[in-house]
Amino acid sequence: MLTAIGRVAAQRLVLRTAPLTIPRSQPIAHVAGRALSTTHWARLPAKATAPTTKTKKTTTAAKEGQKKPATKKAAAEKAAPKKKAAPKKAAPKKKPAVKKPKKELSPEEQDKLNMRVWKKAALLAEEPKNKANTPWSLYVSKNMKAVGTSSEAMTEIMKTLSEGYKNLSSYEQQRLAEEAERIKLDEKTRYEAWVKTLTPQQVVDANNARARIRKMRGTPRRPSPIRDDRLPKMPTGAWGNFVKARWASGEFAGQGPTFAIPSISKEWKNMSPSEKAPYEATAKVDRERYEREVRDVLNRGLHTRA
């Protein structure tokens, strides 16, 4: 840059010292060098470079100024305290349920309730139902609809059926007897298979419930106890052993229990302790057998009465 300025100054000096009039025959000497106009920034004032730098600084500062607020904003966001989660409301305590006082049942209502419980424990619904298994019951079941209708008196219907049964031929009676026997065998098989599905303790519980039902109804035979050969047989006492022995003697042959039992009972009361001793010894052995079977089959001891 200084070289170009120096050249310009030398040109100006030559022009001042040269004569104002130059002969036309003398050519003008061109100074070799680069014209001043070729350098764009050389014509600008010397102070022109400063603003450029300031502008850049200003621009840079402006950019930095624009970035700083973002940083402050981010910092402000980071510094913002986190909101605490609202405490959960405690669940309202449930009020304790007020127990209604139990209604006192009348004796009749209590009996009905007991009967429902006992029927369920007695396994009456589960027990296989018996069909007509005698020649007479088979004849009635087969001819009931043909003989009479529901509007007629049952006594008249049964009278007609009875007369028809008596008039059957021997062949027809034999055929009914054989069919009834087959039904009995089938029922026995089904009954024994059902009993085996129960445990001995279940059979004992069912029989106890059936005994309560018989007592409440006043029916000594129905419902009958469940027959199970696995159950321990009740022991026979000294009195029972004496009755068996007297009945087996044949002295009361042809006599019913109503006559024989009072007579045997009178003999027992008049016997001495030594005469009763053999029967009592047999009863003791039988009771020991029963206790042993109860322990083995039912896994418990005897229920003694208070």
Per-residue pLDDT of the chain (306 residues; tens, 9 = 90+): 445 565 655 566 544 544 444 444 444 444 444 444 444 544 555 554 444 444 444 444 444 445 445 555 555 555 555 666 666 666 667 777 777 777 787 878 888 888 889 999 999 999 998 888 899 999 998 888 777 666 567 788 888 889 999 999 999 999 999 999 999 999 999 999 999 999 999 999 999 999 999 998 898 888 999 999 999 999 999 999 999 999 888 888 888 888 889 999 999 999 999 999 999 999 999 999 999 999 999 988 876 554
What is 109-227's CATH number? 1.10.30
Domains 109-227 and 232-306 share a fold: yes
Superfamily for domain range 232-306: High mobility group box domain (1.10.30.10)
40: its two tokens? 């764009």
Q: What is the 3-state secondary structure (H, E, C) of 153-188?
A: CHHHHHHHHHHHHHCCCHHHHHHHHHHHHHHHHHHH
pLDDT for residue 62: 45
pLDDT for residue 74: 52
| Alpha carbon distance 176, 136 (integer Å) | 8
| Alpha carbon distance 72, 80 (integer Å) | 12
Q: What radius of gyration do the chain's Cα atoms show?
A: 65
Enumerate residues 6+ apart whose C-beta is below 8 A from 145. Answer: none
pLDDT for residue 153: 79
pLDDT for residue 41: 46
Instruction: Give tens-digit pLDDT for 207-257.
Output: 999 999 999 889 888 899 999 999 999 999 999 999 999 988 888 888 888
Domain ranges of the chain: 1-21+28-45, 109-227, 232-306
**HSE of 238 in the Cβ direction (CA atoms, 13 Å)?**
13
pLDDT for residue 157: 84
pLDDT for residue 160: 87
The answer to whether 209 and 122 are in contact (CB under 8 A) is yes
What DSSP string runs through the chain? -HHHHHHHHHHHHHHHHS-SS--TTSPPPPPPS--GGG-TTTSS-GGGHHHHHHHHHHHHHHHHHHHHHHHHHHHHHHHSPPPPPPPPPPPPPPPPPPPPPPPPPPHHHHHHHHHHHHHHHTTTTTSPPP---SHHHHHHHHHHHHH--TTS-HHHHHHHHHHHHHT--HHHHHHHHHHHHHHHHHHHHHHHHHHHTS-HHHHHHHHHHHHHHHHHHT-SSSSPPPP-TTSPPPPP-HHHHHHHHHHHTTTTTT--HHHHHHHHHHHHHT--HHHHHHHHHHHHHHHHHHHHHHHHHSSS------
8: its two tokens? 């310009």
The answer to whether 176 and 139 are in contact (CB under 8 A) is yes
Instruction: Give tens-digit pLDDT for 271-305.
Output: 999 999 999 999 999 999 999 999 999 988 876 55
